[in-house]
Amino acid sequence: MGTVGLIPKVFEPKKFEEEVLKFWDENRIYEKLRERLRGRPKFYFLDGPPYPSSDVPHIGTCWNKILKDVVVRYRRMRGYYVHDVPGYDCHGLPIEVAVEKKLGFKSKKDIEELGVDKFIEECRKLALANAASMTKYFKDLGVSLNWDRPYLTLTNEYIEAAWWFIKKAHERGLLKRGLKVLHWCPRCETVLADYEVTEYRELEDPSIYVKFPVKGREREYIVIWTTTPWTLPANVAVMVHPDHTYVRVKVKKTGEVLILAKPRLEHVIKECNLGEVEVLEEFPGEALQGLEYEHPLADEVPIQRQIRHVVVTSREFVTMEEGTGCVHTAPGHGEEDFEVAKRYGLPVLCPVDSRGRFTSEAGKYANLYVREANSVIISDLERKGYLLHVGKIVHRYPVCWRCKTPLIYRATEQWFIEITKLKDRFLEEAAKVNWIPAWAGSARFRNWLMNLRDWVISRQRYWGIPLPIWVCTKCGHYVVIGSREELLERAIEKVELPDLHKPWIDRVVLRCEKCGGEMRRVPDVADVWLDSGIAFFASLGYPRNSELFNKLYPVDFITEGHDQIAGWFFSLLRASVIAFDQAPYRTVLMHGFTLDEQGREMHKSLGNYVAPNEVIEKYCREALRLFVLSNTVWEDLRFSWKKVEEAYSDLNILWNVYYFASTYMNLDKFDPEKYRLEDYLHVLEPEDRWIISRVNSVNKVVVNALESYHIHEAVRALRRFTVEDLSHWYIMLIRRRVWIEEERLEKLTAYITLFYVLEKLLRLLAPFLPMITEAIYQRMFRPALKEAPESIHYLEYPLPDEKLIDERCERLMDVVKEIVEKVSALRMKAGVKRRWPLRELVIATDSQEVREAIDMYRKILLTQCNVKKVEVVPSSEVRKFIRYVIEPVFSKIGPVYRGLTKKIVEYLSKQRPEDIAAALLEKGCIEFEIEGQVVRLSRDMINIREEPQTDYLITETRNFKVILSTTLTKEEIAEGLARDVVRRIQYMRKVLDLPLDATIEVVVYGPESEIELIKQYTHFIASETRARKVKFVGSRDEVTGDLVTEWEIDGSKYVIGVKRIQ
Interface positions, 331-390, toward RNA (CB under 7 A): 334-336
Quick one: which segment of 220-228, 344-352, 806-814, 895-903 binds RNA (CB under 7 A)? Answer: 220-228
Quick one: which segment of 72-80, 214-222, 448-456, 908-916 binds RNA (CB under 7 A)? Answer: 448-456
Q: Determine, following the binding rule CB under 7 A, whether residue 226 of this chain makes contact with RNA.
A: yes
Quick one: which segment of 265-273, 592-600, 614-622, 855-863 binds RNA (CB under 7 A)? Answer: 592-600
The nearer residue to RNA, 698 or 920, going by C-beta atoms, is 698
The nearer residue to RNA, 453 or 744, going by C-beta atoms, is 453
Contact 80, 41 (CB under 8 A): yes
Query: In whole angstroms, how close is the CB of 430 to RNA at the nearest point?
Result: 14
Query: In whole angstroms, how close is the CB of 712 to RNA at the nearest point?
Result: 8
Label residues 220-244 b or e (16+ Cβ within 10 Å = b).
Answer: bbbbbbbbbbbbbbbbbbbbbbbeb
Query: In whole angstroms, how close is the CB of 113 to RNA at the nearest point?
Result: 34
Quick one: which segment of 48-56, 107-115, 328-336, 1001-1009 binds RNA (CB under 7 A)? Answer: 328-336
Q: How far apart are the C-alpha atoms of 156 and 641, rounded to whole Å?
A: 44
Q: Determine which residue in the list 259, 373, 565, 1030 makes contact with RNA, applying CB under 7 A.
A: 565
Of 903, 905, 899, 900, nearest in space to 941 by CA:
905
Quick one: which segment of 17-25, 248-256, 603-611, 951-959 binds RNA (CB under 7 A)? Answer: 951-959
Query: In whole angstroms, how close is the CB of 758 to RNA at the nearest point?
Result: 12
Q: How far apart are the C-alpha atoms of 45 and 560, rounded to whole Å?
A: 12
Q: Determine, following the binding rule CB under 7 A, whether residue 439 of this chain makes contact with RNA.
A: yes
E strands, 4-57, where?
Answer: 42-44
The nearer residue to RNA, 105 or 397, going by C-beta atoms, is 397
Q: How far apart are the C-alpha atoms of 1041 and 8, rounded to whole Å?
A: 29
Q: How far apart are the C-alpha atoms of 423 and 876, rounded to whole Å?
A: 72
Query: According to CB under 7 A, which residues from 71 to 100 bind RNA?
Result: none
Q: How far apart are the C-alpha atoms of 695 and 678, rounded to whole Å?
A: 16
Q: Determine, following the binding rule CB under 7 A, whether residue 451 of this chain makes contact with RNA.
A: yes
Q: How far apart are the C-alpha atoms of 717 and 706, rounded to whole Å?
A: 12
DSSP-derived 3-state class of residue 246: strand
Q: How far apart are the C-alpha atoms of 718 and 722, rounded to whole Å?
A: 6
The nearer residue to RNA, 457 or 920, going by C-beta atoms, is 457
Q: Determine which residue in the list 599, 741, 927, 1061 makes contact with RNA, applying CB under 7 A.
A: 599
Q: Which amino acid is present at 57?
A: P
Q: Determine, following the binding rule CB under 7 A, whether residue 118 of this chain makes contact with RNA.
A: no
Query: What DSSP designation does 794 have?
Result: G
Q: Determine, following the binding rule CB under 7 A, whether residue 400 of this chain makes contact with RNA.
A: no
DSSP character string of 254-280:
T--EEEEEHHHHHHHHHHTT--SEEEE
Query: In whole angstroms, how close is the CB of 401 to RNA at the nearest point?
Result: 11
Q: Determine which residue in the list 321, 802, 1008, 1048 makes contact with RNA, applying CB under 7 A.
A: 321
DSSP-derived 3-state class of residue 435: strand
Phi, psi of 927 (to 5 degrees): -130, 140
Q: Determine which residue in the list 57, 398, 466, 798 makes contact with RNA, applying CB under 7 A.
A: 398
Query: In whole angstroms, how close is the CB of 679 to RNA at the nearest point?
Result: 27
Give Cβ neighbours of residue 41 (< 8 Å, ≥ 6 apart). 79, 80, 81
The nearer residue to RNA, 543 or 976, going by C-beta atoms, is 976
Quick one: which segment of 74-82, 167-175, 330-338, 529-537 binds RNA (CB under 7 A)? Answer: 330-338
Q: Determine, following the binding rule CB under 7 A, whether residue 972 of this chain makes contact with RNA.
A: no
Q: How far apart are the C-alpha atoms of 786 and 284, rounded to whole Å?
A: 93
**Bridge partners (DSSP) listed for residue 191:** 184
Query: According to CB under 7 A, which residues from 5 to 34 bind RNA?
Result: 9
The total of other beta-carbon atoms located within 10 Å of residue 339's CB is: 14
Distances from the Cα of 325 to the Cαs of 264, 276, 316, 318, 502, in angstroms? Answer: 7, 20, 12, 6, 48
Q: How far apart are the C-alpha atoms of 196 and 190, rounded to whole Å?
A: 12
Q: Determine which residue in the list 61, 130, 231, 666 makes contact with RNA, applying CB under 7 A.
A: 231
Q: Determine, following the binding rule CB under 7 A, whether residue 878 of this chain makes contact with RNA.
A: no
Q: How far apart are the C-alpha atoms of 122 and 99, rounded to whole Å?
A: 7
Q: Determine, following the binding rule CB under 7 A, whether residue 120 of this chain makes contact with RNA.
A: no
Report helix angle 848-856 to 858-865, nearest 10: 80
Q: Determine which residue in the list 224, 346, 465, 471 makes contact with RNA, applying CB under 7 A.
A: 224
Query: In whole angstroms, how close is the CB of 534 to RNA at the nearest point?
Result: 21
The nearer residue to RNA, 156 or 704, going by C-beta atoms, is 704
Query: In whole angstroms, how close is the CB of 714 to RNA at the nearest point?
Result: 13
The nearer residue to RNA, 157 or 818, going by C-beta atoms, is 818
The nearer residue to RNA, 896 or 992, going by C-beta atoms, is 992
Query: According to CB under 7 A, which residues from 984 to 1003 bind RNA?
Result: 986-987, 989-990, 992, 994-996, 998, 1000
Q: Which positions from 684 to 713 touch RNA by CB under 7 A, shown as an x/- string?
A: ------------------------------
Query: In whole angstroms, how close is the CB of 88 to RNA at the nearest point?
Result: 22
Query: In whole angstroms, how close is the CB of 636 to RNA at the nearest point?
Result: 6
Q: Which positions from 634 to 673 touch RNA by CB under 7 A, shown as an x/- string?
A: xxx-x-x-xx--x--x--xx--xx-xx--x----------
* Residue 774, CB-side half-sphere exposure with 13 Å CA sphere: 24
Q: Determine, following the binding rule CB under 7 A, whether residue 890 of this chain makes contact with RNA.
A: no
Number of amino acids touching RNA (CB under 7 A):
95
Quick one: which segment of 392-400, 412-420, 427-435, 740-748 binds RNA (CB under 7 A)? Answer: 392-400
Q: Which amino acid is present at 665?
A: M
Q: Determine, following the binding rule CB under 7 A, whether residue 121 of this chain makes contact with RNA.
A: no
Q: Determine which residue in the list 76, 168, 459, 979 makes contact with RNA, applying CB under 7 A.
A: 979
Contact 527, 193 (CB under 8 A): yes
Query: In whole angstroms, how close is the CB of 1030 to RNA at the nearest point?
Result: 14
Of 672, 630, 656, nearest in space to 727 by CA:
656
Residue 1042 burial (10 A CB sphere; 0-12, 13-18, 19+)? middle
Q: Determine, following the binding rule CB under 7 A, whether residue 322 of this chain makes contact with RNA.
A: yes
Q: Determine, following the binding rule CB under 7 A, whether residue 591 of this chain makes contact with RNA.
A: no
* Residue 449, CB-side half-sphere exposure with 13 Å CA sphere: 24
Q: Determine, following the binding rule CB under 7 A, whether residue 863 of this chain makes contact with RNA.
A: no
Distances from the Cα of 29 to the Cαs of 21, 774, 786, in angstroms? Answer: 10, 11, 19
Q: Determine, following the binding rule CB under 7 A, whether residue 982 of this chain makes contact with RNA.
A: yes
Q: How far apart are the C-alpha atoms of 924 and 337, rounded to whole Å?
A: 89
Query: What DSSP designation does 445 have?
Result: I
The secondary element (H helix, E strand) that includes residue 865 is helix 858-865
Quick one: which segment of 375-383, 417-425, 898-906, 978-986 binds RNA (CB under 7 A)? Answer: 978-986
Q: Which positions from 804 to 833 touch RNA by CB under 7 A, shown as an x/- string?
A: -----------------xx-xx--x----x
Query: According to CB under 7 A, which residues from 731 to 770 bind RNA?
Result: 731-732, 735, 739
Give Cβ neighbours of residue 867 (< 8 Å, ≥ 6 apart). 823, 837, 838, 839, 840, 841, 861, 964, 965
The total of other beta-carbon atoms located within 10 Å of residue 408's CB is: 18
Q: How far apart are the C-alpha atoms of 672 and 790, rounded to whole Å?
A: 18
Q: Determine which residue in the list 18, 189, 194, 339 makes contact with RNA, applying CB under 7 A.
A: 194
Q: Determine, following the binding rule CB under 7 A, whether residue 563 of this chain makes contact with RNA.
A: yes
DSSP character string of 718-753:
HHHIIIIIIIIIIHHHHHHHHH--S--HHHHHHHHH
